[in-house]
Structure 1
Amino acid sequence: MTRIEPELIRRWLDGWTVARAVPEAEPVGSAGDGLRSKCDQPGREIEVFALRADEDPESLARLAASVAAAQQITWLTVPTLRPSAVEAVVSAAGLELLHRSEWFMTTDLTEHPQHAPAAPYEREVRTEGAVTVVSLHGPSGEIAARGTIAVIGPDAIADRIETDPAHRRRGLGRAMMSALAAAAVARGARTGLLIASEEGQRLYSSLGWHHEADVLIARRPAVPANR
Protein backbone atom coordinates (compact mmCIF):
# COMPACT_ATOMS: atom_id res chain seq x y z
CA MET A 1 0.00 0.00 0.00
CA THR A 2 1.41 3.39 -1.04
CA ARG A 3 -1.19 5.59 0.64
CA ILE A 4 -3.94 5.44 3.21
CA GLU A 5 -7.39 5.47 1.63
CA PRO A 6 -9.29 8.76 2.12
CA GLU A 7 -12.47 6.80 2.83
CA LEU A 8 -10.81 5.15 5.83
CA ILE A 9 -9.92 8.56 7.23
CA ARG A 10 -13.49 9.76 6.66
CA ARG A 11 -14.91 6.72 8.47
CA TRP A 12 -12.67 7.37 11.47
CA LEU A 13 -13.56 11.06 11.51
CA ASP A 14 -17.30 10.32 11.35
CA GLY A 15 -16.98 8.34 14.59
CA TRP A 16 -14.47 10.68 16.23
CA THR A 17 -16.78 13.68 15.94
CA VAL A 18 -19.63 11.63 17.43
CA ALA A 19 -17.44 10.33 20.26
CA ARG A 20 -16.41 13.87 21.16
CA ALA A 21 -19.82 15.45 20.56
CA VAL A 22 -18.42 18.04 18.14
CA PRO A 23 -20.05 19.18 14.88
CA GLU A 24 -19.82 16.97 11.82
CA ALA A 25 -16.68 17.67 9.79
CA GLU A 26 -17.05 19.81 6.67
CA PRO A 27 -15.06 19.75 3.41
CA VAL A 28 -12.15 22.18 3.20
CA GLY A 29 -9.93 23.08 0.27
CA SER A 30 -10.44 22.18 -3.36
CA ALA A 31 -10.81 18.75 -4.95
CA GLY A 32 -11.45 16.98 -1.67
CA ASP A 33 -8.23 18.09 0.02
CA GLY A 34 -9.50 17.58 3.55
CA LEU A 35 -12.12 17.93 6.24
CA ARG A 36 -12.52 20.58 8.92
CA SER A 37 -13.91 20.06 12.44
CA LYS A 38 -14.73 22.65 15.08
CA CYS A 39 -13.19 21.41 18.34
CA ASP A 40 -13.55 24.51 20.58
CA GLN A 41 -10.79 23.35 22.91
CA PRO A 42 -8.22 25.70 24.49
CA GLY A 43 -5.28 25.81 22.11
CA ARG A 44 -7.20 23.71 19.54
CA GLU A 45 -10.21 25.58 18.22
CA ILE A 46 -10.27 24.02 14.74
CA GLU A 47 -8.76 20.82 13.37
CA VAL A 48 -8.17 20.12 9.69
CA PHE A 49 -7.67 16.53 8.50
CA ALA A 50 -5.76 15.89 5.28
CA LEU A 51 -7.31 13.24 3.04
CA ARG A 52 -4.90 13.04 0.09
CA ALA A 53 -1.49 13.98 1.45
CA ASP A 54 0.37 11.02 -0.07
CA GLU A 55 -1.30 10.92 -3.49
CA ASP A 56 -1.27 14.70 -3.99
CA PRO A 57 1.33 16.68 -2.00
CA GLU A 58 -0.06 19.90 -3.49
CA SER A 59 -3.33 19.25 -1.67
CA LEU A 60 -1.40 19.09 1.59
CA ALA A 61 0.46 22.29 0.73
CA ARG A 62 -2.87 24.06 0.19
CA LEU A 63 -4.18 22.86 3.56
CA ALA A 64 -0.95 23.81 5.35
CA ALA A 65 -1.10 27.32 3.86
CA SER A 66 -4.70 27.73 5.02
CA VAL A 67 -3.79 26.60 8.54
CA ALA A 68 -0.85 29.02 8.61
CA ALA A 69 -3.19 31.88 7.67
CA ALA A 70 -6.05 30.90 9.98
CA GLN A 71 -7.21 33.39 12.60
CA GLN A 72 -8.34 30.68 15.01
CA ILE A 73 -5.93 28.21 16.60
CA THR A 74 -5.96 25.41 14.04
CA TRP A 75 -4.33 21.99 14.01
CA LEU A 76 -3.48 20.09 10.84
CA THR A 77 -3.68 16.30 11.23
CA VAL A 78 -2.12 14.22 8.45
CA PRO A 79 -2.39 10.41 8.19
CA THR A 80 0.47 9.34 5.91
CA LEU A 81 2.82 6.59 4.79
CA ARG A 82 5.40 9.24 3.90
CA PRO A 83 6.05 11.16 7.14
CA SER A 84 9.32 12.72 5.97
CA ALA A 85 7.65 14.20 2.90
CA VAL A 86 4.75 15.51 5.00
CA GLU A 87 7.12 17.08 7.49
CA ALA A 88 8.88 18.92 4.69
CA VAL A 89 5.61 20.31 3.30
CA VAL A 90 4.23 21.55 6.62
CA SER A 91 7.58 23.04 7.63
CA ALA A 92 7.77 24.91 4.32
CA ALA A 93 4.37 26.43 5.15
CA GLY A 94 5.73 27.74 8.44
CA LEU A 95 3.87 25.28 10.66
CA GLU A 96 5.25 23.76 13.83
CA LEU A 97 5.30 19.96 13.96
CA LEU A 98 4.11 18.73 17.34
CA HIS A 99 6.66 16.41 18.87
CA ARG A 100 4.65 13.22 19.08
CA SER A 101 4.34 10.22 16.82
CA GLU A 102 0.82 8.87 16.48
CA TRP A 103 -0.51 5.89 14.53
CA PHE A 104 -3.73 5.25 12.61
CA MET A 105 -4.74 1.69 13.58
CA THR A 106 -7.51 -0.78 12.72
CA THR A 107 -8.64 -4.21 13.88
CA ASP A 108 -11.30 -6.88 13.42
CA LEU A 109 -13.31 -6.41 16.61
CA THR A 110 -14.90 -9.85 16.36
CA GLU A 111 -11.48 -11.37 17.04
CA HIS A 112 -10.47 -8.95 19.77
CA PRO A 113 -8.91 -10.63 22.86
CA GLN A 114 -10.94 -10.45 26.04
CA HIS A 115 -9.40 -9.58 29.40
CA ALA A 116 -11.47 -8.92 32.51
CA PRO A 117 -10.23 -6.40 35.10
CA ALA A 118 -8.55 -8.05 38.07
CA ALA A 119 -9.98 -7.58 41.57
CA PRO A 120 -10.61 -5.16 43.20
CA TYR A 121 -11.41 -3.22 40.00
CA GLU A 122 -14.99 -3.12 38.78
CA ARG A 123 -16.29 -2.26 35.34
CA GLU A 124 -19.09 0.20 34.53
CA VAL A 125 -20.52 0.39 31.00
CA ARG A 126 -22.86 3.21 29.96
CA THR A 127 -24.33 3.67 26.48
CA GLU A 128 -26.14 6.74 25.23
CA GLY A 129 -27.02 6.93 21.56
CA ALA A 130 -24.07 5.82 19.45
CA VAL A 131 -21.52 6.28 22.23
CA THR A 132 -20.46 3.82 24.93
CA VAL A 133 -18.30 4.92 27.85
CA VAL A 134 -16.46 2.31 29.93
CA SER A 135 -15.11 3.18 33.37
CA LEU A 136 -12.97 0.95 35.59
CA HIS A 137 -13.36 1.83 39.25
CA GLY A 138 -10.77 1.26 41.96
CA PRO A 139 -11.38 -0.04 45.49
CA SER A 140 -12.50 3.36 46.77
CA GLY A 141 -14.81 3.98 43.84
CA GLU A 142 -12.37 6.25 42.05
CA ILE A 143 -12.12 6.10 38.25
CA ALA A 144 -8.90 4.23 37.53
CA ALA A 145 -9.35 4.04 33.76
CA ARG A 146 -11.81 5.34 31.22
CA GLY A 147 -12.50 5.06 27.50
CA THR A 148 -15.08 5.86 24.83
CA ILE A 149 -16.20 4.11 21.66
CA ALA A 150 -18.65 5.38 19.03
CA VAL A 151 -20.45 2.90 16.78
CA ILE A 152 -21.27 4.15 13.28
CA GLY A 153 -22.68 1.30 11.19
CA PRO A 154 -20.07 -1.47 10.99
CA ASP A 155 -17.33 0.78 12.39
CA ALA A 156 -16.41 1.53 16.00
CA ILE A 157 -14.08 4.42 16.77
CA ALA A 158 -12.23 4.23 20.10
CA ASP A 159 -11.19 7.51 21.72
CA ARG A 160 -9.76 8.99 24.91
CA ILE A 161 -8.43 5.77 26.39
CA GLU A 162 -6.85 6.84 29.67
CA THR A 163 -5.49 5.12 32.78
CA ASP A 164 -4.78 7.12 35.92
CA PRO A 165 -1.01 7.09 36.62
CA ALA A 166 -1.62 5.62 40.09
CA HIS A 167 -3.29 2.56 38.54
CA ARG A 168 -0.98 1.79 35.63
CA ARG A 169 0.78 -1.54 34.98
CA ARG A 170 -2.18 -3.51 36.36
CA GLY A 171 -3.72 -4.67 33.08
CA LEU A 172 -6.40 -2.00 33.04
CA GLY A 173 -5.61 -0.91 29.50
CA ARG A 174 -6.19 -4.42 28.20
CA ALA A 175 -9.38 -4.74 30.24
CA MET A 176 -10.59 -1.37 28.96
CA MET A 177 -10.03 -2.21 25.30
CA SER A 178 -11.69 -5.60 25.80
CA ALA A 179 -14.79 -4.00 27.26
CA LEU A 180 -14.99 -1.37 24.52
CA ALA A 181 -14.59 -3.99 21.78
CA ALA A 182 -17.25 -6.26 23.31
CA ALA A 183 -19.70 -3.36 23.64
CA ALA A 184 -19.14 -2.36 20.01
CA VAL A 185 -19.55 -5.91 18.67
CA ALA A 186 -22.78 -6.29 20.66
CA ARG A 187 -24.08 -3.27 18.74
CA GLY A 188 -23.17 -4.69 15.34
CA ALA A 189 -19.72 -3.20 14.76
CA ARG A 190 -16.95 -5.22 13.15
CA THR A 191 -14.08 -2.87 12.34
CA GLY A 192 -12.26 -0.91 15.03
CA LEU A 193 -10.55 2.37 14.18
CA LEU A 194 -8.42 4.63 16.36
CA ILE A 195 -5.51 7.02 16.41
CA ALA A 196 -2.99 5.81 18.96
CA SER A 197 -0.69 8.00 21.00
CA GLU A 198 2.93 6.96 21.27
CA GLU A 199 2.16 5.56 24.73
CA GLY A 200 -0.77 3.46 23.52
CA GLN A 201 0.82 1.89 20.44
CA ARG A 202 2.42 -1.05 22.22
CA LEU A 203 -0.81 -1.91 24.04
CA TYR A 204 -2.96 -1.83 20.91
CA SER A 205 -0.41 -3.80 18.89
CA SER A 206 -0.36 -6.51 21.56
CA LEU A 207 -4.15 -6.78 21.21
CA GLY A 208 -4.03 -7.30 17.45
CA TRP A 209 -4.54 -3.75 16.19
CA HIS A 210 -2.71 -3.04 12.91
CA HIS A 211 -0.70 0.04 11.97
CA GLU A 212 -2.21 1.57 8.82
CA ALA A 213 -0.34 4.89 8.71
CA ASP A 214 1.63 7.38 10.73
CA VAL A 215 -0.20 10.50 11.87
CA LEU A 216 1.59 13.85 11.96
CA ILE A 217 0.07 16.88 13.65
CA ALA A 218 1.14 20.46 13.02
CA ARG A 219 -0.03 23.95 13.90
CA ARG A 220 1.01 27.55 13.53
CA PRO A 221 3.76 28.39 16.05
CA ALA A 222 2.45 29.92 19.25
CA VAL A 223 3.06 33.65 19.67
CA PRO A 224 4.78 34.50 23.00
CA ALA A 225 2.40 36.19 25.44
CA ASN A 226 4.70 39.23 25.90
CA ARG A 227 4.51 40.22 22.22
Structure 2
Amino acid sequence: MDGIVRAWVDGWVVSRGAAPPVEEPWGCTIDVGVEHHVTRHVFGALREETEEADGAAVRKVAGAVTGTGVWLKVFREPGVVGGWLGAGWWVDPEPGYLMTAPLTPAAGGPALPDGYRLRTWSRGGVIRAMVAAPDGSWAARGQIAPTGATAVADQIETSPAHRRRGLGSAVVRTLQRAAAGRGAETGVLAGTPAGRALYESLGWTVAAPLTSAKFMGPGGGADAG
Protein backbone atom coordinates (compact mmCIF):
# COMPACT_ATOMS: atom_id res chain seq x y z
CA MET A 1 0.00 0.00 0.00
CA ASP A 2 1.06 3.58 -0.51
CA GLY A 3 2.62 4.91 2.71
CA ILE A 4 0.17 7.76 3.24
CA VAL A 5 -2.78 5.39 2.68
CA ARG A 6 -1.36 2.99 5.24
CA ALA A 7 -0.97 5.85 7.71
CA TRP A 8 -4.61 6.87 7.17
CA VAL A 9 -5.81 3.30 7.64
CA ASP A 10 -3.80 2.77 10.83
CA GLY A 11 -4.97 6.02 12.40
CA TRP A 12 -8.60 5.62 11.32
CA VAL A 13 -8.75 2.16 12.90
CA VAL A 14 -7.54 3.57 16.21
CA SER A 15 -9.87 6.57 15.97
CA ARG A 16 -12.97 4.46 15.32
CA GLY A 17 -12.08 1.42 17.43
CA ALA A 18 -12.31 -0.83 14.37
CA ALA A 19 -10.68 -4.23 13.92
CA PRO A 20 -7.03 -4.41 12.83
CA PRO A 21 -6.76 -4.14 9.03
CA VAL A 22 -6.26 -7.35 7.04
CA GLU A 23 -3.77 -6.80 4.24
CA GLU A 24 -4.80 -7.71 0.72
CA PRO A 25 -2.85 -7.63 -2.58
CA TRP A 26 -4.81 -4.50 -3.58
CA GLY A 27 -4.99 -2.77 -0.15
CA CYS A 28 -6.73 -3.86 3.04
CA THR A 29 -10.03 -4.90 4.59
CA ILE A 30 -11.30 -3.44 7.87
CA ASP A 31 -14.18 -4.81 9.92
CA VAL A 32 -16.04 -1.92 11.53
CA GLY A 33 -19.01 -3.74 13.01
CA VAL A 34 -21.76 -1.14 12.57
CA GLU A 35 -25.06 -1.97 10.83
CA HIS A 36 -24.62 0.50 7.99
CA HIS A 37 -20.82 0.20 7.95
CA VAL A 38 -20.03 -3.46 8.49
CA THR A 39 -16.77 -3.64 6.56
CA ARG A 40 -14.69 -1.34 4.39
CA HIS A 41 -12.26 -2.22 1.63
CA VAL A 42 -9.52 0.39 1.13
CA PHE A 43 -7.58 0.28 -2.12
CA GLY A 44 -3.98 1.22 -1.59
CA ALA A 45 -2.71 2.89 -4.77
CA LEU A 46 -2.52 6.64 -5.39
CA ARG A 47 -0.65 6.69 -8.71
CA GLU A 48 -2.55 7.42 -11.93
CA GLU A 49 -0.43 4.93 -13.89
CA THR A 50 -2.01 2.08 -11.90
CA GLU A 51 -5.58 3.01 -12.93
CA GLU A 52 -6.13 0.00 -15.20
CA ALA A 53 -4.97 -2.44 -12.54
CA ASP A 54 -6.96 -0.58 -9.88
CA GLY A 55 -10.10 -0.87 -12.00
CA ALA A 56 -9.66 -4.62 -12.32
CA ALA A 57 -9.14 -4.95 -8.55
CA VAL A 58 -12.18 -2.81 -7.71
CA ARG A 59 -14.39 -4.81 -10.09
CA LYS A 60 -13.21 -8.10 -8.59
CA VAL A 61 -13.69 -7.03 -4.97
CA ALA A 62 -17.02 -5.31 -5.63
CA GLY A 63 -18.29 -8.28 -7.58
CA ALA A 64 -17.76 -10.56 -4.58
CA VAL A 65 -19.79 -8.34 -2.22
CA THR A 66 -23.27 -9.71 -1.46
CA GLY A 67 -24.14 -8.13 1.90
CA THR A 68 -25.32 -4.57 2.45
CA GLY A 69 -23.32 -2.11 4.51
CA VAL A 70 -19.98 -2.81 2.82
CA TRP A 71 -17.99 0.25 1.75
CA LEU A 72 -15.21 0.81 -0.76
CA LYS A 73 -12.64 3.60 -0.45
CA VAL A 74 -10.86 4.24 -3.74
CA PHE A 75 -8.35 6.97 -4.57
CA ARG A 76 -9.89 8.01 -7.87
CA GLU A 77 -12.62 10.45 -8.95
CA PRO A 78 -16.27 9.37 -8.47
CA GLY A 79 -16.91 9.30 -12.21
CA VAL A 80 -14.08 6.82 -12.70
CA VAL A 81 -15.02 4.59 -9.78
CA GLY A 82 -18.70 4.56 -10.76
CA GLY A 83 -17.76 3.05 -14.10
CA TRP A 84 -16.10 0.13 -12.33
CA LEU A 85 -19.11 -0.84 -10.21
CA GLY A 86 -22.22 -2.83 -11.05
CA ALA A 87 -25.82 -2.74 -9.87
CA GLY A 88 -26.54 -2.22 -6.21
CA TRP A 89 -23.69 0.21 -5.54
CA TRP A 90 -24.23 3.81 -4.44
CA VAL A 91 -21.31 6.10 -5.26
CA ASP A 92 -20.98 9.36 -3.36
CA PRO A 93 -21.11 12.01 -6.12
CA GLU A 94 -19.09 14.44 -4.00
CA PRO A 95 -15.35 13.83 -4.25
CA GLY A 96 -13.46 13.36 -1.02
CA TYR A 97 -9.82 14.21 -0.53
CA LEU A 98 -6.94 12.48 1.20
CA MET A 99 -5.02 15.37 2.74
CA THR A 100 -1.77 15.80 4.67
CA ALA A 101 -0.06 18.52 6.70
CA PRO A 102 3.16 18.94 8.67
CA LEU A 103 2.58 18.97 12.42
CA THR A 104 4.44 21.24 14.83
CA PRO A 105 3.95 21.87 18.55
CA ALA A 106 3.56 25.58 17.74
CA ALA A 107 0.44 25.13 15.61
CA GLY A 108 -1.18 28.23 17.08
CA GLY A 109 -3.47 28.57 20.04
CA PRO A 110 -7.25 28.38 19.75
CA ALA A 111 -9.02 31.70 19.26
CA LEU A 112 -12.59 31.34 20.42
CA PRO A 113 -15.37 33.92 20.53
CA ASP A 114 -16.35 35.17 23.97
CA GLY A 115 -18.29 32.65 25.99
CA TYR A 116 -17.19 29.52 24.11
CA ARG A 117 -15.28 26.84 26.01
CA LEU A 118 -12.75 24.36 24.61
CA ARG A 119 -11.91 21.12 26.39
CA THR A 120 -9.49 18.36 25.34
CA TRP A 121 -8.91 14.88 26.70
CA SER A 122 -7.34 11.58 25.65
CA ARG A 123 -8.67 8.06 25.93
CA GLY A 124 -7.66 4.85 24.20
CA GLY A 125 -4.90 6.56 22.23
CA VAL A 126 -7.31 9.13 20.75
CA ILE A 127 -7.10 12.85 21.55
CA ARG A 128 -10.48 14.59 21.51
CA ALA A 129 -11.48 18.24 21.49
CA MET A 130 -14.90 19.72 22.14
CA VAL A 131 -16.18 23.30 22.02
CA ALA A 132 -19.24 24.17 24.09
CA ALA A 133 -21.38 27.21 23.26
CA PRO A 134 -22.07 29.95 25.82
CA ASP A 135 -25.32 28.22 26.78
CA GLY A 136 -23.50 24.91 27.29
CA SER A 137 -24.73 23.23 24.10
CA TRP A 138 -22.45 21.42 21.65
CA ALA A 139 -20.78 23.70 19.12
CA ALA A 140 -17.83 21.81 17.57
CA ARG A 141 -15.72 18.71 18.00
CA GLY A 142 -12.94 16.60 16.53
CA GLN A 143 -10.42 13.92 17.34
CA ILE A 144 -6.98 12.77 16.25
CA ALA A 145 -5.21 9.42 16.56
CA PRO A 146 -1.40 9.52 16.66
CA THR A 147 0.26 6.29 15.48
CA GLY A 148 3.96 7.05 15.59
CA ALA A 149 5.19 9.58 13.05
CA THR A 150 1.71 10.20 11.66
CA ALA A 151 -1.65 11.12 13.16
CA VAL A 152 -5.12 10.89 11.62
CA ALA A 153 -7.60 13.71 12.25
CA ASP A 154 -11.17 12.48 12.20
CA GLN A 155 -14.81 13.46 12.74
CA ILE A 156 -14.19 17.22 12.64
CA GLU A 157 -17.64 18.80 12.94
CA THR A 158 -19.19 22.18 13.70
CA SER A 159 -22.85 22.64 14.61
CA PRO A 160 -24.73 24.48 11.83
CA ALA A 161 -25.84 27.03 14.41
CA HIS A 162 -22.22 27.92 15.26
CA ARG A 163 -20.44 27.94 11.91
CA ARG A 164 -18.29 30.79 10.53
CA ARG A 165 -16.97 31.67 13.97
CA GLY A 166 -13.56 30.02 13.72
CA LEU A 167 -14.51 27.03 15.87
CA GLY A 168 -13.41 24.44 13.30
CA SER A 169 -10.03 26.12 12.95
CA ALA A 170 -9.58 26.17 16.72
CA VAL A 171 -10.40 22.48 16.98
CA VAL A 172 -8.03 21.47 14.16
CA ARG A 173 -5.17 23.62 15.50
CA THR A 174 -5.65 22.16 18.97
CA LEU A 175 -5.56 18.60 17.65
CA GLN A 176 -2.54 19.27 15.46
CA ARG A 177 -0.61 20.71 18.37
CA ALA A 178 -1.59 17.83 20.67
CA ALA A 179 -0.55 15.18 18.14
CA ALA A 180 2.77 16.93 17.55
CA GLY A 181 3.32 16.83 21.30
CA ARG A 182 2.97 13.04 21.08
CA GLY A 183 5.74 12.89 18.46
CA ALA A 184 3.66 12.89 15.27
CA GLU A 185 5.23 14.78 12.38
CA THR A 186 2.59 14.44 9.65
CA GLY A 187 -1.19 14.77 9.84
CA VAL A 188 -3.50 12.81 7.56
CA LEU A 189 -7.26 13.14 7.06
CA ALA A 190 -10.09 12.41 4.65
CA GLY A 191 -11.78 15.69 3.83
CA THR A 192 -15.03 16.66 2.14
CA PRO A 193 -15.53 19.48 -0.37
CA ALA A 194 -17.07 21.54 2.44
CA GLY A 195 -14.08 20.99 4.71
CA ARG A 196 -11.33 21.33 2.13
CA ALA A 197 -11.14 25.14 2.29
CA LEU A 198 -10.80 25.04 6.08
CA TYR A 199 -8.01 22.50 6.00
CA GLU A 200 -6.15 24.25 3.20
CA SER A 201 -6.28 27.51 5.17
CA LEU A 202 -4.49 25.64 7.97
CA GLY A 203 -1.72 24.27 5.76
CA TRP A 204 -3.18 20.96 4.60
CA THR A 205 -2.68 19.84 0.99
CA VAL A 206 -4.50 17.30 -1.17
CA ALA A 207 -2.59 14.06 -1.77
CA ALA A 208 -5.29 12.30 -3.80
CA PRO A 209 -9.01 12.27 -4.60
CA LEU A 210 -11.03 9.82 -2.50
CA THR A 211 -14.29 8.20 -3.59
CA SER A 212 -16.66 6.39 -1.24
CA ALA A 213 -19.06 3.70 -2.46
CA LYS A 214 -21.55 1.62 -0.48
CA PHE A 215 -23.29 -1.63 -1.42
CA MET A 216 -27.03 -1.14 -1.04
CA GLY A 217 -28.16 -4.55 -2.29
CA PRO A 218 -30.71 -5.40 -4.98
CA GLY A 219 -32.63 -2.31 -5.99
CA GLY A 220 -29.96 -0.02 -4.53
CA GLY A 221 -27.58 2.11 -6.49
CA ALA A 222 -27.14 5.66 -7.66
CA ASP A 223 -30.44 6.92 -6.26
CA ALA A 224 -30.14 5.15 -2.90
CA GLY A 225 -27.74 7.55 -1.20
TM-score w.r.t. structure 2 length? 0.86
Q: Which of 16, 31, 34 is the equivalent residue of 2:27?
A: 34
Q: Are the counterparts in 1 of residues 15 and 126 from structure 2 also a CA contact under 8 Å? A: yes
Q: Which of 121, 141, 145 is the equivalent residue of 2:140?
A: 145
Q: Which residue of 2 aligns with 1:215?
A: 210
SS at 2:113's partner residue?
A: coil
Cα separation, 2, equivalents of 1:85 and 1:9: 19
- For residue 8 of structure 1, what is the amino acid of its counterpart? I
Q: Are the counterparts in 1 of residues 63 and 86 from structure 2 also a CA contact under 8 Å? A: no
Q: Which residue of 2 aligns with 1:101?
A: 95
TM-score w.r.t. structure 1 length? 0.86
Q: 1:168 to 1:222 in 2, by over 3 A?
A: farther
- For residue 163 of structure 1, what is the amino acid of its counterpart? T
Q: Which residue of 1 aligns with 2:43?
A: 50
SS at 2:129's partner residue?
A: strand
Q: Which of 52, 75, 82 is the equivalent residue of 1:79?
A: 75
How far 1:91 moved relative to its partner?
3.4
SS at 2:74's partner residue?
A: strand
SS at 1:175's partner residue?
A: helix
Q: 1:93 to 1:19 in 2, by over 3 A?
A: same
Q: Which residue of 2 aligns with 1:128?
A: 123
SS at 1:24's partner residue?
A: coil
Cα deviations across residues 159-205 of structure 1 (Å, max 9, x unaligned)?
00011111111110111111111111111111000000121011001
Q: Which residue of 2 aligns with 1:91?
A: 85
Q: Which of 199, 205, 220 is the equivalent residue of 2:200?
A: 205
Q: Which residue of 2 aligns with 1:14?
A: 10
Q: 1:17 to 1:202 in 2, by over 3 A?
A: same
Q: Are the counterparts in 2 of residues 120 and 138 from structure 1 also a CA contact under 8 Å? A: yes
Greater relative contact order structure (CA < 8 Å, 6+ sep): 2
- For residue 35 of structure 2, what is the amino acid of its counterpart? P
Question: Across the two proteins, how many residue pairs are aligned to each other?
Answer: 216
Cα separation, 1, equivalents of 2:18 and 2:78: 28
Backbone CA RMSD of aligned residues: 2.2
List alignment gaps of at least 5 residues for structure 2: 221-225
- For residue 96 of structure 2, what is the amino acid of its counterpart? E
